[in-house]
């Protein structure tokens, strides 16, 4: 069965099992607290946050939550994410472990500063 594209983040989160929904909501609230001016949207069928461009994405999966803060944040926080499966622009947080909300918050703040700096350089 093909998954229907979510129309908003509430709709996206509601499509997961209750335990996963709780974790997705924790990630969502952490992002919103770290970047209160950011605009929520769905991009690439995932929750995304924009502030002078894309900040971060996140997504639920069967065994993990994928967090996509771009390659610059992955590189900057490489030591802190070393214990998690990660790639150039993503990190996977297993559902069976506590979500590293403080780390997620720091990565979002990093991305906000990065995007604001890029905007200042363009002007």
Does residue 2 carry a pLDDT above 70? no
- What fold does the segment set 9-122 form as a domain? 3.90.1150
Q: Which residue has the higher pLDDT, 72 or 117?
A: 72
Q: Where are the domains of the chain?
A: 9-122
* Residue-level pLDDT at 1: 41
* Strand order from edge to edge, sheet including 54-60: 39-43, 46-50, 54-60, 64-68, 90-94, 86-87
Which position has the token pair 């924790």? 26
| pTM greater than 0.75 (yes/no) | yes
Does residue 76 carry a pLDDT above 70? yes
Mean pLDDT of 81-100: 96
43 touches 56 (CB < 8 A): no
Q: Which residue has the higher pLDDT, 75 or 1?
A: 75
DSSP of the chain: -PPPPPSSHHHHHHTS-HHHHHHHHHHHHHHHHH-TTPEEEEETTEEEEESSSEEEEEEE-SSEEEEE-HHHHHHHTTTTTTTS-EETTEEEEETTS---HHHHHHHHHHHHHHHHHHHHHH-
* Residue-level pLDDT at 97: 93
* Residue-level pLDDT at 88: 95
Mean pLDDT of 95-102: 96
* Residue-level pLDDT at 3: 59
pLDDT tens track for 8-49: 999 999 999 999 999 999 999 999 999 999 999 999 999 999
User: For the chain, how far is it from start to end, CA to CA, in angstroms?
Assistant: 47
CA distance 1 to 118: 42
CA distance 86 to 66: 9
């Amino acid at each position: 069965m093909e998954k229907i594209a979510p129309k908003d983040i509430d709709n996206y989160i509601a499509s997961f099992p209750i335990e996963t929904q709780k974790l997705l909501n924790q990630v969502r609230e952490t992002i919103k607290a770290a970047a209160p001016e950011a605009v929520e949207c769905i991009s690439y069928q995932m929750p995304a946050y924009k502030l002078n461009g894309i900040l971060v994405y996140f997504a639920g999966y069967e065994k993990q939550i994928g967090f996509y803060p771009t390659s610059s944040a992955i590189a900057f926080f490489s030591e802190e994410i070393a214990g998690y499966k990660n790639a150039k622009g993503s990190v996977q947080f297993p559902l069976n472990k506590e979500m590293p909300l403080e780390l997620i918050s720091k990565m979002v703040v990093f991305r906000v500063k990065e995007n604001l700096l890029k905007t200042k350089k363009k002007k």
